[in-house]
Structure 1
């Protein structure tokens, strides 16, 4: 079977060999003039040491429990830059004591009952793709008898499909490819494609309020959840299937983004769609980034609601092989009902009114994929996490962060964020970082900018240097009225800035809910709440 990397993003066989990584280093040096180090190799799996398990599973749970060396390594942490660097150097001191894979709700309930009575921390684990420290116990682990990584990978089925209402009930452990393959048998699709799609799970998407396929309208998984089942230490919560309701605060909304601190999501009814048969794609080049932003805003406010409306600044377009010397707006429309010429032509007309240049659109019906700028961008988007692993082996800091703000604040925010990242990297790395920006999602009232930064690191000081840059970027977001995250969740990494963002009284509401649903405080301690 194909194996996941024990330290890096995705599949182990996607990590390039030394020659390929040297070539990547030469490309980075040519673009940035950074002092790129020669390649080094990650610590091999069999060379990793980790503490022995502190606890044993009760006999009733032994059949679903693993203490396998590789299992524990794979469940130690997520895949942020901080995680990848520590994994690269063989630091697995925070490995869970046990990995448990429940096969149904009954076994989830049994795990939580045992853990509550034995004071064992339980960290729900989907695909392990968290980039915010959402699946790793930190120093608080010593206050618990042990730590269990609760992996829902045995619960992957599409349980029911309601073709009339266009909804499906899906178990929370299903990855993107698993649920899409099952829905395709019914001619349906969830159409939720986060960058982590290949490995992340439905339960993880819901627990972290993940951003999906659509750049407008259905941007978050929030918009697709119809109801859910959540096993808490106090019992089961099942919400009612409804298209909408005005009956008080929504229990679904309480669980969306709760990151496993209130309960374990076991399955959900989600809205699905007939698989699209009509597609349109186009790219528009701009010499002025400011006019490109204005064009994007005009399209977002036009009521056209494209499925793709992603603006790449010049550096982003260049690094992803989309264009040289221009910002690029990537547009797309899709439908299972009607041709799309009218929608696309109007969007292109708006872009041209703001100084954009386009060679026109590509229209397709039936199966097929784009080989134009949109197609190149999509492939680069999916490959980006693998590139980060190569850059770590070359002694580079390479990371991303995302946010959202209103249109009136974007220009000031953007300038401040770029300045903060470049100044911090100059201070701690000796060189100003390469910073690029793209809009991942757009709304009538604002964009979701997604930043990438690359800077030279000093081997052995990577995390110290990265921490300073990350802090500078996050402080800039808070100072200019943006959010600490648009779709990457809070976890442990973003919590200090989330505490500034949320209303102070709301913390008491969260704590009261935590006490009621998880009296022993075993579920994912340290996430969202200190």
Structure 2
């Protein structure tokens, strides 16, 4: 797998933005806040991190697959949320697990569960650790748990079987995105699920968090690809029947898709595949306003065209990524197919855009993905996770929140959420900030707006300032009828609003399922439901 993953930051050791990329990003913030420089602190080095002595020691039978050294524990302490970066920057690794276990098969997963349960430890499935909502942090309830163990399935990363006839594959839960696709490529098929975290996240993590992929319509979530799952629980192994569809009661697959590691560990799944795309068409379209672009998106979505990409960026979002000059909204539009040319679909989509004032960029190659505004945005999208490594030490608060809402409420929803968040930034920091919006996914009945907020914080108060902004934005989402998360999952950061969003009787049912499958409440405590 190459260099090891960073204990702090995005990706692997040695990776990051180059000087030109850093200068571009910081230049935008300097202009935004009228500063020539920022008060920057040094990130704690691995050698300087002090961890408590492990509160438990793995038995000799598991010692070969367990690690207790500083790197492995620190690298599994947090995910990639803004608070995670702040605490890591300051050298606060109190959340580090006592032991990190790397099982190589289901028997070893079960053995780790048995040992952790007997030792009174909490057990947290880690996936690739790319959670941006506090989903992988070990939380120890002193009344129930006396230690913390993290479970990392990186050794279960194989495509075990490919069914070419039904176009499906049995894939282990620890498979990272690139390795998964590399194993499918010789069969000329693809899972075609590409979240922004693709390189550093796993199939099991995608299923457990109901991950959203890069594609804007039709197949938007990992749900659409799951044919059956195999889950190791403290009560035993559960495997659902492999079927293209079924009307036999509530779906057992759905019980585990989105369960965020509280019911069991997804060891493998049969996943529906697609032919690798051979035909592509892409375009960048400029609009006089964000709402005009949104109306065009609605027309495209309701026409049943199902573009692979149909993202719109408001003028400031387009400027921040270098896709435009800040005077126009941008639509990044693309179609692809493994079966047939897609130009007729593109032509009809562009007609829908023209009906709402959209003008296609001129100098574009037929591939569309790497040219013009679309290419600039795509590069910024892929590289942006690396920016937080130097923005957080500079005292800059940059974060995102995503949601979904039906079309008839979208415009008022957008304005109310943006206004509340802008005011929260001013109240928390005393300095005017910025809130931008783009669409990530679109449906015939509504979009998935994705908001970014930018604030100039103060060292020593970053966590409190971030929390005040996050609270206000989340309150606004729920009050206006949206969801607390469209594809980032609930974790711990969204838990308070998830409790308000879900029906009370559903919470009772979920608690009962948790009690039956995880009697000791050892799995990922604090996520989704309390015992």
> In which range does the TM-score fall when normalised by the shorter chain?
over 0.9
Counterpart of 1:101? 102
Describe the shift of the 1:18–1:185 C-alpha distance in structure 2 as closer, same or farther (beyond 3 A).
closer
Q: Is the 8 A contact 1:28 1:36 kept in 2?
A: no
Q: Is the 8 A contact 1:396 1:455 kept in 2?
A: yes
CA shift, 1:139, in A, is 5.2
Counterpart of 2:512? 512
CA shift, 1:12, in A, is 3.2
SS for the counterpart of 2:310 is strand
Unaligned 5+ residue runs, structure 1? none
- Report the Cα distance in structure 1 between the residues aligned to 2:25 and 2:407, rounded to whole angstroms: 36
Deviation string 1:431-487 (CA, Å, 9 cap, x unpaired) is 122111110000000000111111000111000000000000000001000000000
Deviation string 1:471-520 (CA, Å, 9 cap, x unpaired) is 00000001000000000000111010000000001111011000100111
- Report the Cα distance in structure 1 between the residues aligned to 2:253 and 2:515, rounded to whole angstroms: 18
Counterpart of 2:427? 427
Counterpart of 1:343? 345
Counterpart of 1:89? 90
SS for the counterpart of 1:103 is coil
Q: Is the 8 A contact 2:170 2:269 kept in 1?
A: yes
Deviation string 1:187-206 (CA, Å, 9 cap, x unpaired) is 11111000100100000000
- Report the Cα distance in structure 2 between the residues aligned to 1:470 and 1:79, rounded to whole angstroms: 16
Counterpart of 1:363? 366
Q: How does 1:399-410 map to 2 (within 5 A)?
A: 399-410=399-410
Q: Is the 8 A contact 1:123 1:149 kept in 2?
A: yes
Counterpart of 1:307? 308
Q: Is the 8 A contact 1:388 1:399 kept in 2?
A: no
Counterpart of 2:81? 80
CA shift, 1:275, in A, is 0.7
CA shift, 1:369, in A, is 5.7
Q: How does 1:241-252 map to 2 (within 5 A)?
A: 241-252=242-253
Q: Is the 8 A contact 2:206 2:222 kept in 1?
A: yes
Structure 1's consecutive aligned runs of 4 or more residues displaced over 6 angstroms after TM superposition are: 17-20
Describe the shift of the 1:398–1:34 C-alpha distance in structure 2 as closer, same or farther (beyond 3 A).
farther
Deviation string 1:412-443 (CA, Å, 9 cap, x unpaired) is 11111111111011011111221111100000
Counterpart of 1:334? 336
Describe the shift of the 1:113–1:139 C-alpha distance in structure 2 as closer, same or farther (beyond 3 A).
closer
CA shift, 1:17, in A, is 8.0
Q: How does 1:2-41 map to 2 (within 5 A)?
A: 2-15=3-16, 24-33=25-34, 37-41=38-42
- Report the Cα distance in structure 2 between the residues aligned to 1:49 and 1:209, rounded to whole angstroms: 35
Q: How does 1:389-400 map to 2 (within 5 A)?
A: 389-400=389-400
Describe the shift of the 1:141–1:440 C-alpha distance in structure 2 as closer, same or farther (beyond 3 A).
farther
Counterpart of 1:264? 265
Normalized against structure 1, the TM-score is what?
0.96
CA shift, 1:136, in A, is 0.6
Q: How does 1:89-488 map to 2 (within 5 A)?
A: 89-138=90-139, 140=141, 143-324=144-325, 325-359=327-361, 362-364=365-367, 370-488=370-488
Deviation string 1:156-188 (CA, Å, 9 cap, x unpaired) is 000000111111110000111010000011111
Describe the shift of the 1:136–1:295 C-alpha distance in structure 2 as closer, same or farther (beyond 3 A).
same
Normalized against structure 2, the TM-score is what?
0.96
SS for the counterpart of 2:14 is helix
- Report the Cα distance in structure 1 between the residues aligned to 2:100 and 2:193, rounded to whole angstroms: 28
What is the Cα-based RMSD across aligned positions, in Å?
A: 1.7
SS for the counterpart of 1:247 is coil
- Report the Cα distance in structure 2 between the residues aligned to 1:71 and 1:78, rounded to whole angstroms: 13
